[in-house]
Amino acid sequence: MDWGLKNRLSRIIKPKTGKTVMLAVDHGYFLGPTSGLEEPHKTIQPLTPFADSLMLTRGVLRSSIDPAIAPPIVLRVSGGTSILSELSNEGIITSMEDAVRLNVSGVALSIFVGGEFERQTLLSLAELVDLGEKYGIPVLAVTAVGKEMARDARYLSLACRIAGELGAHLVKTYYCEDFESVVRSCPVPVVIAGGKKIDEFDALELSHKAVREGAVGVDMGRNIFQAENPLAMIQAVRAVVHEDATPQQAYDLYCSIKK
Ligand code: 5RP
């Protein structure tokens, strides 16, 4: 791995703890004005000081994030579909030159293993990795799971391993039973998505289990920005990821900040 790529990756995964709390706010790229992100800057701005990085599209980056105080950026560069169409039919929507111009620390792309356009998304990943290696920008592969796919260790191990084999530098996937085996068989670090909004305690427990079972952290969206108190939630998630807090300790922290 070349110096620039390593340097950028260490802006995302913090060397002090070897962990990361990425704030995912890229949902609009296929979901439109997702609940909680209707006016992105209002949601994102207060959370920014607590996020090790922001995962978002260039549209929201340019319009809603102050370049003078932005944390490291992981730019979503795949898309081209909406919830009204076939989701796996994604392509690359942002050039690497623009990613460089935006001074991002990483780029993210979804792969749809088992999806109708599996091949297209895997070839896009390989192409993006070639460009990432050329410009020194790490690539985060997101293992998107189609409605018909089971989110189990067998499927997620397959998807994560393929992402790693194709050269992704970091993989984002879902927590599942026997998550340890998913991490063990993936040659690169793994972060988890939070998924649909669940109870705050449960989301902290999910983060705790994922980290205990080998994830380097979370790339979490809805369970932070749709929480009753997003500012308290992101700090509680940080306590789990960076300070090894138990779910109960983190939940107590959540409640005390919320007060
Ligand atoms: C979809 C994505 C997201 O849009 C997002 O990052 C998911 O985060 P969360 O599930 O925590 O809301 O990656 O594949």
Residue 142: CB within 6 Å of ligand 1?
yes
**Token digits of residue 65:** 């994030």
| Cβ density class 84-121: b for 16+ within 10 Å, e for less | eeebbebebbbebeebeebebbbbbbbbbbebebbebb
Q: Is 193 touching ligand 1 by the criterion CB < 6 Å?
A: yes
> 240 C-alpha to center of ligand 1: Å?
20
pLDDT tens per residue, range 168-208: 999 999 999 999 999 999 999 999 999 999 999 999 999 99
For ligand 1, atom 6: residue with the closest CA: 24
Per-residue pLDDT at 97? 98
State the pTM of this model: 0.97
Domain annotation for the chain: domains and CATH numbers: 3-227 (3.20.20.70)
> What mean pLDDT, rounded, does the chain reach?
97
Which atom of ligand 1 sits closest to the CA of residue 144?
14
Q: Is the CB of 19 under 6 A from ligand 1?
A: no
Contact 159 CB / ligand 1 (< 6 Å) = no
Supply the residues annotated as catalytic: 172
Q: Quick one: average pLDDT of 152-156?
A: 97
pLDDT at 217 over 90: yes
DSSP structural state of residue 105 = S
Looking at this protein, which amino acid is placed at residue 202? D
User: Does position 1 have pLDDT exceeding 80, yes or no?
Assistant: no
Distance in Å, CA 140 to ligand 1 centroid: 12
- 169 is written with which tokens? 């530098």
Residue 245 CA to residue 235 CA, distance in Å, equals 11
Does the beta carbon of 141 lie inside 6 Å of ligand 1? no
pLDDT tens, 103-116? 999 999 999 999 99
155 neighbors 145 (Cβ within 8 angstroms): yes
Place of tokens 């194709």: 166
